Amino acid sequence: RKEVEQDPGPFNVPEGATVAFNCTYSNSASQSFFWYRQDCRKEPKLLMSVYSSGNEDGRFTAQLNRASQYISLLIRDSKLSDSATYLCVVNMGYGGATNKLIFGTGTLLAVQP
C-alpha cells in the first residue's frame, strides 16, 4: 500500500463548479499535512497546510481527519487558472528531526471554459 494515496484523475469540470479531492495516508505517526499545487513542468508550490480543525483560504477549504487518516481539499467556484495537479503531502519526519515529505501521485484538475 502506498504511503499517500489519491485519485489521479483527471477531473474535468466547468468553470464555477465545486470540486473535491480526497487523499488517505497510511502512517498514523505522520506529523503535518499539506496540499501542494504543481503546474505543468514546474516545481510544486505550497497551496495550504491542513489542520484537524479545518482551514479555509478564499475558495479553498482543507480538512484533516486523523482518526480516518484522510485529507480533503475543496475548491469552490473553479477558475480556469485552477487547472493544475494537486498533490497531497504528508510530512513524516524522522523522529521529529527531519523534514521528509511524502507526496501522493497528484490529481490532475482541468477546468473547462
Partner 1 sequence: ETGVTQSPTHLIKTRGQQVTLRCSSQSGHNTVSWYQQALGQGPQFIFQYYREEENGRGNFPPRFSGLQFPNYSSELNVNALELDDSALYLCASSLGQVENTIYFGEGSWLTVV
Contacts to partner 1 by CB under 8 A: 4, 31-32, 34, 41-46, 49, 87, 91, 93-94, 96-106
Among 1, 99, 7, CA closest to 46: 99
CB of 98 to partner 1, least distance (A): 3
Shortest separation between residue 107's beta carbon and partner 1, angstroms = 10
C-beta of residue 77 within 8 angstroms of C-beta of residue 49? no
Question: How far apart, in whole angstroms, are the C-alpha atoms of residue 58 and residue 95?
Answer: 34
The nearer residue to partner 1, 1 or 43, going by C-beta atoms, is 43
Q: Using the 8-state DSSP alphabet, how is residue 26 labeled?
A: S
Please say which residue, 53 or 98, places its beta carbon nearer to partner 1: 98
Is the CB of 2 or the CB of 79 nearer to partner 1? 2
Tell me how far, at minimum, the Cβ of 42 lies from partner 1, in Å.
7
Closest CB to partner 1 among 49 and 76? 49
Q: How many CB atoms lie within 10 A of CB 53?
A: 7
CA 72 to chain centre: 7
Shortest gap between Cβ of 18 and partner 1 (angstroms)?
24
| Angle at alpha carbon of residue 39, lines to 15 and 63, rounded to 5° | 70
